Each structure stands twice: as C-alpha cells, then as structure tokens.
C-alpha cells in the first residue's frame, strides 16, 4: 500500500485532490545540491491548467519547502514539499461516492480501499497528485542539469495530429523547456489545440503520445535484469495517471524490422563509442550506451467527459447513467509532459546514485 518509489533516491507522494494539501518527500538526495525555488515555480507553471485547453480548476500551486533545504542547498535529509489545495468544489462529486466514472479509478479504489477512500475529485488517484511529483522532479532536473544531463518531452501526437520529429536534440530540448504547449511545429500545435477545443465543445476528450529525449547520460548506467533502465523508467512512467503505454527507441515498430535495420552500428569519435542510428533508444541490456535515451508514452483521453455514460450504482448494484459535473481537462497529454520529465529525472537521479554513489550528483 506504500506510495514510495526509488532505492537510493526515493520519492514519496501524499494527499488527495480535495484534501488540505498534497506534496512529496524526496529522500536520499546528496547534501549540497542547489535548490532553486524559482525553477520549481516555473516547472509548476508548466503543469498548471491554463486557458480553455485545461480544467477550469485554478490552483496557485505554490510549493512550500518545509524540510531538507538550508541556505538554498539540500541538507541530505528528506526534502518535504507541500502544496495547498485551494480551489476545490467537492459538491460536484457527491454522486461519485457510489456512481463509478467509466475510465477513472473510482470503482477500483472502492474495491481496494473498501469505501474508506476520499473519492472527492478522484482523491489519491487524481492527476492533481502529480503536482508533488513535479515539485520533487524540479529539484532532480536541476541536479541533473548541473551534471550536463538534459531532458525534454514534446507532444508527439494528439488526436491524430503529429508534431515534427526531433532534429537537433540539444536545441529542441532547449526550445521545449520554454514552451507551455510542448509542440515543435507551429502548425501541428495549432491543429492539436483546435482538436482539443473541438473535443471540449462536444463534451468529449482526446489523448496523445509524448516523446522524451534524455541527453548527456553516461554509458553504463542501469542495474542488471530487474532494475534495468527500461524497467525502472517504465515502472515510474506507468505510475503517472492516464499513461497506458511506454515504448523505447523504435518501440513496437522494431519488431517489424530486419536485424540489419534494427541494429545500431558502432563508430568511434574522440575516444568514445557511438552508434550511427538509435533504434534501441540509447539502452542495451537495460544499460545506457551513452547515446540519447528515447522513449514514448501513450496518454489516454481524459476519462471524465460530459457525455452521458452508463455505469453501476455501487449501493444498489443497479445499472444507471452518469452525467459528470466536475471540472476536467479535455486532454491530459499537454499537462502530463512536465510530469513525464519530472518522473524521468527522479528515476535517473536514483540510478546515477546507485551507479556512482549518493554524493556524485553534488560533486
Ligand atoms: C496532469 C493530469 C491531469 C489529469 N486530469 C484529469 C481530469 O481532469 N479528469 C479526469 O477524469 N482524469 C484526469 N487525469 C487522469 C486520471 O487521474 C486517471 O485517468 C485515473 O486516475 C485512472 O487511472 P489510469 O487512467 O492510469 O487507469 C489526469 C491525469 C494527469 C496526469
């Protein structure tokens, strides 16, 4: 039942959508790492709901650091980050105590927590809980950047519209980190936004795929067999609500190729071994090979839609219908990208600490 992930650097999340506060505890990070509160705030901005493409719930998302940081640096003790919930409207959720939303976790939470769960706003299963991950992830992202490791995610596709491919990873990552709607091609961005607006007008929702690149990771990172880079990344990526698929490198398409096209041939450059292509996404045998780590995450359409849907009244076990009232995102994918960057950074800090020792990140 625990809510902690990581071995050497571990993150614990807590809170419910309509409780007093939510947050995260980041434990095991080396002492002496810079903690930039302005950077944390700017990462929180990227997750916030803005304009008409996101939920009408508006949260200030101010992060308070209540432990583990002194004079702008980590102390090496648990970093506790809290965020108040201010814009709650619990009355919209009364019916959801017994009418499970299709596609959401209401029914499964009821089965696991026997009715003791706080169902308001999706409770502990709300996308809101990812705010704590973004706050903790900002600390991790900053630590990685100091070591020359950069992460960037774009909306690869949304509602059938595709962004352009990555071209120059360094430049693209730089661009993406300043965009609040992370699409590299301007036309694709406008088209995706229109599709989201259209779905919203129809009382519906759309999904999308995110593509992430990590550059600057040394080769040789990853633990054998059960804690491979792929397994630990997939583990945390699948923990993000609404994520239903993860693929590395060419992903599922690699299965359709010949070995001669799937293999990444080696060459040598300035004393380093590089590959000419990167179909394997920078990971072989679960261990980084020094090439960019590439993966995609499939994010489903928001389950809470405004069209009438069939469900079951869990009190009477009678079939009934449900008309959702609360405030919801017509798409999750654009808000999820900073969550993906954040959880990626948390996993990589853990793996790097396992490989080089806890103090490496601060050196
Ligand atoms: C950033 C973010 C925002 C989300 N916003 C909503 C929302 O407004 N309404 C909703 O029904 N689900 C939302 N979700 C998704 C649900 O939390 C998720 O679908 C649900 O917990 C069921 O989990 P599963 O889809 O992983 O099976 C959001 C997820 C994320 C990551």
Fold of 4-362: Chorismate synthase, AroC fold (3.60.150)
Name the closest-CA residue to atom 5, ligand 1: 127
Counting from 1 in the atom list of ligand 1, the atom nearest the Cα of 125 is 21
Please give the distance, rounded to the nearest whole angstrom, from the Cα atom of residue 154 to the centre of ligand 1: 19
CB of 226 within 8 A of CB of 330? no
Taking the C-alpha atoms of residue 58 and residue 52, their distance in angstroms, rounded to an integer, is: 11
Counting from 1 in the atom list of ligand 1, the atom nearest the Cα of 47 is 1
Domain definitions of the chain by residue range: 4-362
Name the closest-CA residue to atom 2, ligand 1: 127
Mutate to test the pocket of ligand 1, among 103, 302, 311, 342 (most ligand atoms within 8 A of CB): 302
Residue 217 has what pLDDT?
Answer: 98
Counting from 1 in the atom list of ligand 1, the atom nearest the Cα of 304 is 11
Residue 325 has what pLDDT?
Answer: 82
**Residues 167-206 pLDDT 10s:** 999 999 999 999 999 999 999 999 999 999 999 999 999 9
Ligand 1, residues at Cβ distance < 6 Å: 55, 104-105, 122, 125-127, 130, 240-242, 300, 302-304, 328-329, 332, 335-336, 339
Three-state DSSP string of the chain: CCCEECCCCEEEEECCCCCCEEEEEEECCCCCCECCHHHHHHHHHHHCCCCCCCCCCCCCCCEEEEECEECCEECCCCEEEEEECCCCCHHHHHHHHCECCCCCCHHHHHHHHCCCCCCHHHHHHCHHHHHHHHHHHHHHHHHHHHCCCEEEEEEEEECCEECCCCCCHHHHHHHHCCCCCCCCCHHHHHHHHHHHHHHHHCCCCECEEEEEEEECCCCCCCCCHHHCHHHHHHHHHCCCCCEEEEEECCHHHHHHCCHHHHCCCEEEECCEEEECCCCCCCEECCEECCCCEEEEEEECCCCCCCCCEEEEECCCCEEEEECCCCCCCCECHHHHHHHHHHHHHHHHHHHHHHHHCHHHHHC
Residue 95 has what pLDDT?
Answer: 79
Residues of the chain with pLDDT under 70: 49-50, 93
- The strand pairing partners of 245, in sequence order, are 298
Residue 291 has what pLDDT?
Answer: 98
Name the closest-CA residue to atom 20, ligand 1: 104
Please give the distance, rounded to the nearest whole angstrom, from the Cα atom of residue 196 to the centre of ligand 1: 16
Name the closest-CA residue to atom 27, ligand 1: 242
Residue 169 has what pLDDT?
Answer: 98
Residue 205 has what pLDDT?
Answer: 97
Residue 92 has what pLDDT?
Answer: 72
Name the closest-CA residue to atom 25, ligand 1: 242
Buried b (16+ CB within 10 A) or exposed e, 52-82: ebbbebebebebebeebbeeeebbbeebbbb
Please give the distance, rounded to the nearest whole angstrom, from the Cα atom of residue 187 to the centre of ligand 1: 27
Counting from 1 in the atom list of ligand 1, the atom nearest the Cα of 57 is 8
Taking the C-alpha atoms of residue 120 and residue 19, their distance in angstroms, rounded to an integer, is: 9
Counting from 1 in the atom list of ligand 1, the atom nearest the Cα of 327 is 8
Residue 54 has what pLDDT?
Answer: 79
Please give the distance, rounded to the nearest whole angstrom, from the Cα atom of residue 236 to the centre of ligand 1: 15
Residue 112 has what pLDDT?
Answer: 95
Task: Write the Ramachandran bin of 117: left for phi over 0, alpha for psi from -120 to 50, otherwise beta.
Answer: beta
Percent of the chain at pLDDT > 90 equals 87
Counting from 1 in the atom list of ligand 1, the atom nearest the Cα of 242 is 25
């Amino acid at each position: 039942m625990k809510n902690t992930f990581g071995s050497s650097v571990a993150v614990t999340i807590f809170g419910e959508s309509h409780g007093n506060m939510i947050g995260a505890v980041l434990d095991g990070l080396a002492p002496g790492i810079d903690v930039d509160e302005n950077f944390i705030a700017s990462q929180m901005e990227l997750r916030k709901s803005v304009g008409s493409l996101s939920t009408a719930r508006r949260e200030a998302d101010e992060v308070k650091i209540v432990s583990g940081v002194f004079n702008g640096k980590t102390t090496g003790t648990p970093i506790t980050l809290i965020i108040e919930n201010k814009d709650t409207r619990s009355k919209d959720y009364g019916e959801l105590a017994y009418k499970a939303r299709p596609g959401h976790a209401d029914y499964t939470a009821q089965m696991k927590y026997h009715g003791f769960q706080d169902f308001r706003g999706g409770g502990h299963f709300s996308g809101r809980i990812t705010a704590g991950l973004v706050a903790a992830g900002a600390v991790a992202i900053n630590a990685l950047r100091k070591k020359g490791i950069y992460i960037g995610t774009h909306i690869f596709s949304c509602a059938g519209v595709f962004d352009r491919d990555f071209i120059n990873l360094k430049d693209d990552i730089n661009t993406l980190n300043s965009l609040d709607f992370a699409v590299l091609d301007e036309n694709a961005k406008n088209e995706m936004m229109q599709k989201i607006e259209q779905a919203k007008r129809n009382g519906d929702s759309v999904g999308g795929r995110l593509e992430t690149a990590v550059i600057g990771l040394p080769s040789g990172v990853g633990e054998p067999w059960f804690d491979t880079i792929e397994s630990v990344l997939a583990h945390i990526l699948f923990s993000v609500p609404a994520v239903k698929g993860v693929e590395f490198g060419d992903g599922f398409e690699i299965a359709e190729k010949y070995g001669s096209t799937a293999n990444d041939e080696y060459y040598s450059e300035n004393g380093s071994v590089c590959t000419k292509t990167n179909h394997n996404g920078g990971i072989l045998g679960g261990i980084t090979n020094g090439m960019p780590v590439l993966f995609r995450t499939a994010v489903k359409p928001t389950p809470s839609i405004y069209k009438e849907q069939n469900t079951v009244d869990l009190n009477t076990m009678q079939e009934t219908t449900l008309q959702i009232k609360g405030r919801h995102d017509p798409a999750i994918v654009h808000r999820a990208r900073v969550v993906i960057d954040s959880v990626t950074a948390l996993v990589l800090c853990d793996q790097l600490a396992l490989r080089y020792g806890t103090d490496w990140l601060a050196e």
